[in-house]
A and B are shown apart, each in its own frame.
Chain A
Amino acid sequence: MAFLLRRLAFYLAAFIAAATVNFFLPRVMPGDPIQIMFGSANANLTVENLNALRLTFGFIDAPIWQQYLTYLQSIFTGDLGRSIRYFPAPVSEILGRATIWTVGLVGIATILAFIVGTGLGIFAAWKRGTRADTAISLLAIFTTAVPAVVISLLALFIFAYQLRWFPSGYAYNPLLDPALSWTYISSVIYHGTLPMVTMFIVLLGGFAITMRNNMINLLGEDYIVMGRAKGLSENRVMFWYAARNALLPTVSNLAIALGTVVGGSLITEVVFNYPGLGNVLYQAILARDYPVIQGQLLIMTAAMLIANFLVDVSYVLLDPRLKKA
């Protein structure tokens, strides 16, 4: 319990650090911070509107630490300000709508990649030195070293433009209205398949290579030799002795990998014009819509911290030694 509380305190500190970056960036840039933050606004930003935005982001007539506290207060009350481009839509609402698509896409792709990748890693380690291992390793090296943007663009070019198997954008047919009907759901699946498969491929290699190398390192341990010497079947040694122990560091890598996952998914969404967080962020970058860009960092950090905390909890459950610590 003390362990989890310590972690919670740490995550709170990390979240405040991300907020601090947001707070200081416009203020350390050359020029007027208010002009930087809200300069791209058009005529529909009246004086009252602008004053409300100033208050949210801590641009008040007060010493800097009071401005800082004002900003933290807005964040912790869930007020991320309003989008400049889609004024007066609140940032939290814009991001919230997009999050559903991203969570669906990234969630499924990550879980699939984790299962398949880990399986491939175990298989490659088992058959190490054979052609199967070489093929899996090379595939894994390839998918981890080629930028997500390149893999996405290639998938788009081959499967959407050349073969025309899948559409080249949007989450569903824009002519349809969202409804719980088969037409709508099948359209969502049809549009989501290619970005999801792409994301799956982007993530697969990392999981496979980590698991393979963990496994191979463990295969030299005494208890593995012991298991073999006892005459246990190869299957039992592989899955119940080696894979189980090799999985622990993979799980902790998963938490850190999520950061990269989030990054990679942003790019895939932009390439496939998928209406998730990545695309919202891309549009915000093009329009220099800073409240949205900043809100995005906070949302993604919060998501990372929650994921990390869940991993911590699972660690306590998996590793009995931590219960006492």
Chain B
Amino acid sequence: MKQLLVGLSKNKKAVIGLSILVIILLVAIFAPLLTPYGASARVGRPHQPPSWEHWFGTTRIGRDVWTQMIYGARTSLAVGFGAGLMITVIGTVLGIIAGYMRGKVDEVINFFTNMILVIPNLPLLLVLAAFIGQASPLVIALILGFTSWAWGVRVTRAQTLSVREKDFVKSAEMLGEPKWRIMTFEIFPNLISIVGINFIGSVIFAVITEATLEFLGLGDPNAVSWGIMLYNAQNASALTVGAWWDMLAPCFALALLGLSLALINFAIDEVANPRLRTGSRLNRWKMLVRTGEGRI
């Protein structure tokens, strides 16, 4: 765990990704201080281009785009990290149990996991959301959490299968430690990078999917979020009438958040898997020496 954090702090991709994420987080938290307007208030004439008063212009019904964007960051971050956490917890717990217990338990978990993996995710979510009607961000996060854990189970289980054969697990078994203890304290710490990648990947997935469902008109139109901004802009034919700011602002926000998370994810992969590490040969060698692996 500590090694992973030290490695990340020296990885350029991780630092850039994390900095962007922190900036988005700060903007979301201090949104009321960064704008004089209310998130859903009509504060200007419709479709005003960007100006000193309205940095990113106004929407068709005269809301301030910048205000909507920074308040929308709260929704995207909350749904992303909330659903991401749910997906990861369910996936990790089931994956470790399946991989460690094996036998019948494994067969049952594996069967359902594979089944969910072959049913296309977005069409399934669309059917669920369509019956629920106007799904609020919270409802969307819950649907995502309950339906999207299968990938996590698959990777965690595979890794558990290899970790459980290691000597320290065998010796803990010899000592008669209970199974839950072995799974929590012997196996889980060795899966931390897989769990991290699963978590960040799930956050990206949740952010993207929330925006997609809302864009398609399955969200709650009164919510303030990037997906609803896209939905409203699309309904207002923003691109056709030349109000590009209305459409591009949420696009930019989604791209930036996605990019920052993906950089972090890629970095965790690099740090956890030394073979993926790039950089000049000399630097690689220096790093190996520093961590003690390259000692002659």
Contact yes or no, A137 B239, CB < 8 A: no
Contact yes or no, A300 B120, CB < 8 A: yes
Q: How close is B109's CB to chain A, nearest CB, in angstroms?
A: 15
Question: Which residues of A sit under 8 angstroms from B31, Cβ to Cβ?
Answer: none
Decide if A26 is an interface residue (CB 8 Å cutoff).
Answer: yes
Decide if A198 is an interface residue (CB 8 Å cutoff).
Answer: no
Interface residues of B in 70-127 (CB under 8 A from A): 111, 114-115, 117-124, 126-127
Question: Which residues of B sit under 8 angstroms from A297, Cβ to Cβ?
Answer: 120, 123-124, 126-127
Complex Cα–Cα for A147 and B244 (A): 18
Decide if B266 is an interface residue (CB 8 Å cutoff).
Answer: yes
Contact yes or no, B279 A129, CB < 8 A: yes
Complex Cα–Cα for A262 and B259 (A): 22
Question: Which residues of A sit under 8 angstroms from B261, Cβ to Cβ?
Answer: 145
Contact yes or no, B114 A10, CB < 8 A: yes
Nearest A residue to B129 via CB reads: A285
Interface residues of A in 132-191 (CB under 8 A from B): 133-134, 137, 141-142, 144-150, 153-154, 156-157, 161, 168
Interface size on A, residues (CB 8 A): 62
Contact yes or no, A149 B262, CB < 8 A: no
Decide if A281 is an interface residue (CB 8 Å cutoff).
Answer: yes
Question: Which residues of B sit under 8 angstroms from A11, Cβ to Cβ?
Answer: 118
Interface residues on B, range: 35 or more
* Majority DSSP secondary structure for residues of B touching A: helix
Question: Which residues of A sit under 8 angstroms from B117, Cβ to Cβ?
Answer: 256, 259
Question: Which residues of B sit under 8 angstroms from A18, Cβ to Cβ?
Answer: 119, 124
Complex Cα–Cα for A153 and B131 (A): 27
Contact yes or no, B130 A288, CB < 8 A: yes
Query: What per-residue 1/0 map shows which CB atoms of A1-44 lie under 8 Å from chain B?
Result: 00000000011011001100110011001000000100000000
Decide if A290 is an interface residue (CB 8 Å cutoff).
Answer: yes
Query: What per-residue 1/0 map shows which CB atoms of A93-133 lie under 8 Å from chain B?
Result: 00000000000000000000000000000000000110001
Q: Interface-forming stretch among A72-80, A83-91, A214-222?
A: A214-222
Q: Which of A147, A270, A303 has the most CB of B within 10 A?
A: A147
Decide if B220 is an interface residue (CB 8 Å cutoff).
Answer: no
Contact yes or no, B131 A285, CB < 8 A: no
Decide if A53 is an interface residue (CB 8 Å cutoff).
Answer: no
Decide if A282 is an interface residue (CB 8 Å cutoff).
Answer: yes
Query: What per-residue 1/0 map shows which CB atoms of B233-264 lie under 8 Å from chain A?
Result: 00000011000100110010011001101110
Decide if A56 is an interface residue (CB 8 Å cutoff).
Answer: no
Q: How close is B278's CB to chain A, nearest CB, in angstroms?
A: 4
Contact yes or no, B255 A156, CB < 8 A: no
Nearest A residue to B250 via CB reads: A150
Nearest B residue to A162 via CB reads: B244
Complex Cα–Cα for A161 and B263 (A): 31
Contact yes or no, A217 B124, CB < 8 A: no
Contact yes or no, A286 B217, CB < 8 A: yes
Question: Which residues of A sit under 8 angstroms from B266, Cβ to Cβ?
Answer: 137, 141
Given A262-B122, A304-B120, check contact A147 B239 (CB 8 Å): no
Q: How close is A201's CB to chain B, nearest CB, in angstroms?
A: 13
Question: Which residues of A sit under 8 angstroms from B259, Cβ to Cβ?
Answer: 141-142, 145-146
Q: How close is A68's CB to chain B, nearest CB, in angstroms?
A: 17
Contacts from A to B (Cβ < 8 Å): 10-11, 13-14, 17-18, 21-22, 25-26, 29, 36, 128-129, 133-134, 137, 141-142, 144-150, 153-154, 156-157, 161, 168, 213, 216-217, 219-220, 256, 258-260, 262-263, 266-267, 270, 281-282, 285-286, 288, 290, 293-294, 296-297, 300-301, 303-305, 308
A-B contact pairs, 29 of them (CB 8 A): A14-B114, A18-B119, A21-B127, A25-B127, A29-B131, A128-B278, A129-B278, A129-B280, A141-B259, A141-B262, A142-B259, A144-B262, A145-B258, A146-B258, A147-B255, A150-B255, A156-B239, A157-B248, A213-B269, A213-B276, A258-B120, A259-B119, A263-B212, A286-B217, A293-B126, A294-B127, A300-B120, A304-B120, A305-B118
Known contacts A17-B119, A259-B117, A263-B123; 13 further A-B pairs (Cβ under 8 A): A14-B114, A14-B118, A25-B128, A147-B255, A149-B215, A150-B251, A157-B244, A217-B273, A217-B276, A263-B120, A290-B131, A297-B120, A301-B120
8 cross-chain pairs, A with B, having the tightest CB-CB distances, nearest first: A263-B122, A145-B262, A145-B258, A129-B278, A259-B120, A147-B208, A300-B123, A150-B251
